[in-house]
Amino acid sequence: MGLFVLRRLGVMLLTAIALTFVVFYLTNLQPNLEKLARTEGSVRMTEEAVQDWIAQNGHSGSVFLRYGQWLGVVPGWTYTDEKGQMRGRCFAIGQDAAAAPDYCGLLQGNWGFSTFFKTPVMASLGDKLAATGWLMLAVMLVMVPTSLILGVLSGMREGSATDRTLSTFSIASTATPEYVSGVVLVALFATAATGISPILAEYGLIEPKKTLFLASATSAMDDITFWNFTLPVMTIALYGIGYIARMTRASMTEVMTQQYIRTARLKGVPFRTVVMRHALRNALIAPFTVIMLQFPWLLNGVVIVESLFNYKGFGWTLVQAASNNDIPLLLACSVVAVVVVLLTQLISDIGYVFLNPRIRLA
Amino acid sequence: MTAVAPDIAWDPSQPILEIEHLSISFFTRLREIPAVMDFSCTVMAGEAMGLVGESGCGKSTVALGVMRELGKNGRIVSGSIKFKGRDLARMSDEELRHIRGSEIAMIYQEPMASLNPAMKVGAQLAEVPMLHSGMSKDAAWKLAREIVADVRLPDPDRIINAYPHQLSGGQQQRIVIAMALMAKPALLILDEPTTALDVTVEAGIVDLVKELGQKYGTSMLFISHNLGLVMDVCDRICVMYSGEAVETGNVVEVFDEMRHPYTQALFRSIPLPGADKNARPLISIPGNFPLPHERPPGCNFGPRCDYFQKGRCDASDVPMYPVPDSDRHETRCLRWSEIDWTAPPAKREVKQKAEIGKVVLKMEDLRKYYSVSGGAFGGGAKKVVKANETLSFEAREGETLAIVGESGCGKSTFAKVLMGLETATSGSIMLFDENVQSTPIQKRNTDTVSQVQMVFQNPFDTLNPSMTVGRQIIRALEIFKYGKSDAERHDRMLELLDLVKLPRAFAERMPRQLSGGQKQRVGIARAFAGGAKVVVADEPVSALDVSVQAAVTDLLMDIQRENRTTLLFISHDLSIVRYLSDRVMVMYLGHVVEMGTTDQVFAPPYHPYTEALLSAVPIADTKIIRKRIVLEGDIPSAMNPPPGCPFQTRCRWKSQVPGNLCETEVPPVQVLEGGHQVKCHLSRDVLAQMEPVIKVAAE
Ligand SMILES: Nc1ncnc2c1ncn2[C@@H]1O[C@H](COP(=O)(O)OP(=O)(O)OP(=O)(O)O)[C@@H](O)[C@H]1O
Ligand code: SF4
Ligand code: SF4
Ligand SMILES: [Mg+2]
């Protein structure tokens, strides 16, 4: 088992390097750099000046070398201008170049300086990630149990009325993208003029607030409450619930037709026990992988929902970084995303082995 | 909870199971499929009732009907199933649940599929008494351990803590049996419990079932398509045909004095000792089994019956007639008292023995090793599986050489090497004096490829489902570059259909419109398309019903006689091997342990493994006395073979060999009289003292 994890970690590392290189390459394409030069320097720079700026700020030369510098395995660039002023990756203007370290990349903890937030990337990303972490946690807490219960309930008696009702619900919820369900939810629950809020307000049930839930999650950055957090969480969870419930249902119906389920029934095991003890564990093997693979996908939903509800988390940051050509921040975001994806992969592989005794090592 | 009626009401001299006029139908969108019609049978306490019949005749449906487990679309249409006097067909679900598992238990065909893969064996066993008699968990696990020891599994403590996939097929089936016995049921239903197992393993399971039945006084409903097995296990038999019971009675009476034409035809189509492909060929039952919704009027067996009389047999439904002066013997035949049951079959034609010619195929010291990686995650050291170990033999023109052995003995690997689907690790294969040992199939010229052809085990997988039968045969002809024009190939295709005795109209049919036997014929036609000189038939009939088996085997033999083909017949079924082969090669764990003419191999001296194999094969003949040798344990894994003689872990003769030769040295091949080869350390004296396993009882 140890060896297996070690090998998987090795493969993960290689994948991470390859993926981040691709992102690095794409964000550092010439047009991006020119745009950067114009925003950092002056918008009216001449073509030549732009090229000079790029060269003087360490953005020229081989992309491999630049990637190495960013990673921290190649010494950072330095540039001495005609005035003898030294500039470099590892020290600010005016600092003593000799005292600065040679290497300063990701590995040394130097994630760069966000051109948009004007703060070090590490600092600006840290609390954004924490905010998103809370959101994801809440989504998982709602989504996983709900979808598993729905899937198992509809899969245990295929074709029954329960099955058909629940299946209709899950298909509808997967078929609705977040930007649609988000807007619908807001209209239904979080506007003072439409939906159910005016009715509830009339009976004085939601005093002193005007709406059942809040349409903006900005206040949840400081203090998470039922009122401000429900809608963003539900918007993301709804889509996932439908999807995972479908998977669970498929796997459950398949398990219920297996011979060992018949064996259990013919042993006289009551139906409820057949489901709980004999079917459940076997039925969860497939959806488990799906749930783990939902994590990276959640990042995606997070981008939409955070923008929609104005919740300043990772997704919102990503949107800002991309629209403002903030290369260091964009790179950092992609590193985070890649790591999350690969880690969930690893956990899903290991968990699969644990759930399924057939492939567990003897 | 509904009160369960007390058992005291039931008088043990009454039948434990009484099925009366049971009809079961499946309802599909198109139509109602009457799978079982007017079926009656009675099982007394402690009795074992055998249920036999061809595939699809409704055996499993009866069993599942008794369990009331007919799925969503199956329903008991009429009749009653009385268990200990109470009608199961009218019981509430809750009452039924108390009977299932505690009073009636069921075992079915695939042991692996019937055990929960994610639950420990012990937990699955312990569940039964915890459920039905409210036993505590500890006590239930203790009982589980006892029963596991009862079904003679080694190391019960390890086994109850194992997961099903960690056990072999034979061990899994023993666990399934243990599970059925946990609550000491009064009735045990076994639906083909050994079909998925090897013969030597099957023999062990059958012995176990019989012994446990006696020990606990359990009644049994034993379903099988193997008449020999039924004779071994059961007291009474019920023969089914197309959803009906056609004959029922005491096993010996039905076997010796059958009173229904179908039963008679069935016995004439199975290769019993004494049958011979030339002098006394098998007689197949003509025609096909009617589908449940296409049954003929009157007697269902009418269209295939030799004694059919127009106007009588097809007039109205035939009831069961009791045979006087018998042990509850009944038959569903109008003419049973008119037929001369002792008359020999009319149309048995004696055939000419094929002449055996020059050597066509010669293998010398052939070895095939596979290297496989160890652990499940790809780690671990590489291991070598010795699939074939120094094989040497030759096969002649017009000869049938049978290769027998149980699963994993290397039969199929051998066939693959010969076909060029795999290349041998060392040794030589000479085909018409050309060495093809290391030539994979892609590099063989079409001549060689068309000369060696194969007929596969499963006729269902080998045909392209979306191409007509004719087209598939023409494809084969194109590959072999036969003929100059399409017209020529088309003609040849029609000839081939004639050759395999299929109507020419079948050229236009799709594979799904054919029965199993017909598909296998198409497979044979394809194999002979290029005028093959050597045909490897890998278990060509084992997926087919007995009545069809006879027809397909005879077809193979006829074509062989005509084309003087060399036939390598791979099989685990010794009855059919004895019937059709000239020479036999017995394999065990990649070694050829015995080789000789059919007479040499089927008579002493035997190799100890052959002896056990022969004694394990059930024979449906009451006059045959068989010595029972039950092998302990399972076949060792080819990945981890024992040192010395491959058979030493299960051999009962080992003590006759001085020292520990068997454990340390691979035995040499001894050549006995007439070129009979035996790979064993036993001295010639000991070999000479061996007694025959199968004897015909003195009349
Ligand atoms: N669920 C089902 N729906 C429709 N038809 C069915 C169903 N189950 C069985 N049948 C049909 O009922 C008939 C009897 O089937 P059954 O399985 O009892 O045969 P069997 O004698 O057990 O055959 P085998 O030897 O192959 O196990 C067959 O014609 C089969 O096609
Ligand atoms: S009733 Fe007629 S057709 Fe049917 S088995 Fe008897 S003789 Fe044959
Ligand atoms: S060599 Fe020994 S173990 Fe092997 S078959 Fe002969 S007697 Fe048995
Ligand atoms: Mg069956």
- Tell me the pLDDT tens digit for each residue of B81-126: 998 888 888 888 888 888 888 889 998 878 888 899 888 999 999 9
Contact present, A155 and A248 (Cβ < 8 Å): yes
Is the confidence at residue B515, as pLDDT, over 60? yes
Q: What pLDDT shows up at residue B239?
A: 93
**Whole-Å CA distances, B310 to A85, B133, B187, B234, B303:** 117, 59, 42, 36, 10
Q: What pLDDT shows up at residue B345?
A: 76
Ligand 1 geometric centre to CA of B97 (Å): 24
Record the tokens describing residue A90, joined without a space: 């590892």
The stretch B674-694 carries a mean pLDDT of: 88
> Which of these ranges, A79-88, B64-73, B576-585, has the smallest mean pLDDT?
A79-88
Contact present, B83 and B77 (Cβ < 8 Å): no
Query: Is B2 an interface residue toward A (CB < 8 Å)?
Result: no
Ligand 3 geometric centre to CA of B586 (Å): 14
Q: What pLDDT shows up at residue B429?
A: 80
Burial class (CB in 10 A: 0-12, 13-18, 19+), A293: middle
Q: What pLDDT shows up at residue A281?
A: 85
Is the confidence at residue A324, as pLDDT, over 80? yes
Consecutive H or E run containing B582: none
Read off the pLDDT of residues A249-264 as tens digits, 9 standing for 90 and up: 999 998 998 889 989 9
> Which of these ranges, B4-13, B394-403, B588-597, has the smallest mean pLDDT?
B4-13
Read off the pLDDT of residues B189-246 as tens digits, 9 standing for 90 and up: 999 888 777 788 888 888 888 888 888 888 999 998 888 889 988 999 999 998 899 9
- What one-letter code names the amino acid at A151? G
E-assigned strands of B159-243?
187-191, 219-223, 236-241
B34 lines ligand 1 (CB under 6 A): no
Record the tokens describing residue B347, joined without a space: 């149309």
Q: What pLDDT shows up at residue B137?
A: 92
Banded pLDDT at B441 (limits 50, 70, 90): low
Read off the pLDDT of residues B21-63 as tens digits, 9 standing for 90 and up: 999 998 888 888 888 988 988 999 889 999 998 888 888 899 9
Over pLDDT 70: what percentage of chain B? Answer: 93
Indicate the angle between helix axes B137-150 and B169-181, nearest 10 degrees.
Answer: 130
Contact present, B124 and A267 (Cβ < 8 Å): no
Read off the pLDDT of residues B469-504 as tens digits, 9 standing for 90 and up: 888 888 888 887 777 888 888 888 888 888 777 888
- Give the torsion sign (CA, A75, A81, A84, A85): negative
Over pLDDT 90: what percentage of chain A? Answer: 4
Helix/strand/coil (H/E/C) assignment for every residue in B53-73: CCCCCCHHHHHHHHCCCCCCC
Banded pLDDT at A1 (limits 50, 70, 90): low
Question: Nearest Cα to A77, choosing from A52, A99, A104?
Answer: A104
The stretch B1-6 carries a mean pLDDT of: 43
Q: What residues in chain A have their Cβ under 8 A from chain B's Cβ atoms? A: 3-4, 7, 159, 258-260, 262-270, 277-278, 281-282, 355-362
Ligand 3 geometric centre to CA of B203 (Å): 21
The three-class DSSP label of residue B333 is coil
* Rg for chain A, CA atoms, rounded: 26
Question: Nearest Cα to B689, choosing from B656, B658, B659, B660?
Answer: B656
Burial class (CB in 10 A: 0-12, 13-18, 19+), A291: buried
Contact present, A289 and A352 (Cβ < 8 Å): yes
Banded pLDDT at B6 (limits 50, 70, 90): very low
Burial class (CB in 10 A: 0-12, 13-18, 19+), A340: middle
Read off the pLDDT of residues A183-236 as tens digits, 9 standing for 90 and up: 888 888 888 777 777 788 777 777 767 777 777 777 777 777 777 888 888 888
Consecutive H or E run containing B37: strand B32-43
B290 or A152, which is more confident: A152
Q: What pLDDT shows up at residue B674?
A: 85
B420 lines ligand 1 (CB under 6 A): no
Banded pLDDT at A31 (limits 50, 70, 90): confident
CA–CA separation, B139 and B135 (whole Å): 6
- State whether A361 and B128 contact (CB < 8 Å): no
Q: Of A191-200, B330-339, B406-415, B630-639, which has the strongest mean pLDDT?
A: B330-339
What is chain A's mean pLDDT, rounded?
82
Read off the pLDDT of residues A118-138 as tens digits, 9 standing for 90 and up: 888 887 788 888 888 888 888
Q: What pLDDT shows up at residue B238?
A: 94
Q: Closest to B117 (Cβ–Cβ): which among A262, A267, A282?
A: A282
- Predicted model pTM: 0.78
CA–CA separation, B136 and B119 (whole Å): 19
Q: What pLDDT shows up at residue B221?
A: 93
Ligand 4 geometric centre to CA of A82 (Å): 93
Q: In what order do the strands lie in the sheet with B583-588?
A: B452-455, B534-538, B566-571, B400-404, B583-588, B591-597, B677-679, B669-671
Record the tokens describing residue A182, joined without a space: 């988000």
How many residues in total does chain B contain? 699
The stretch B295-300 carries a mean pLDDT of: 86
Q: What pLDDT shows up at residue A105?
A: 80
Greatest extent of chain A over all pairs of C-alpha atoms, in Å:
91
- State whether A362 and B166 contact (CB < 8 Å): yes
Consecutive H or E run containing B451: helix B446-451
Ligand 1 binding pocket mutation candidate from B26, B242, B291 (most atoms within 8 A of CB): B26
Banded pLDDT at B10 (limits 50, 70, 90): low
Greatest extent of chain B over all pairs of C-alpha atoms, in Å:
82
The stretch B255-276 carries a mean pLDDT of: 86
Q: What pLDDT shows up at residue B376?
A: 43
What is chain B's mean pLDDT, rounded?
83
Read off the pLDDT of residues B613-642 as tens digits, 9 standing for 90 and up: 888 888 888 888 888 888 877 777 777 788
Best of B116, B173, B192 to substitute, by most chain A Cβ atoms within 10 angstroms, is: B116
Q: What pLDDT shows up at residue B446?
A: 66
B667 lines ligand 3 (CB under 6 A): yes
ipTM above 0.90, yes or no: no
The three-class DSSP label of residue A39 is helix
Please state whether beta strands B244-250 and B104-107 pair in parallel, antiparallel, or not at all (unpaired): unpaired
Is the confidence at residue B424, as pLDDT, over 80? no
Q: What pLDDT shows up at residue B373?
A: 56
Query: Is B108 an interface residue toward A (CB < 8 Å)?
Result: yes
Banded pLDDT at B377 (limits 50, 70, 90): very low
CA–CA separation, B329 and A49 (whole Å): 110
B57 lines ligand 1 (CB under 6 A): yes
A115 or A172, which is more confident: A172
Contact present, B567 and B399 (Cβ < 8 Å): yes
Question: Nearest Cα to B53, choosing from B289, B258, B376?
Answer: B289
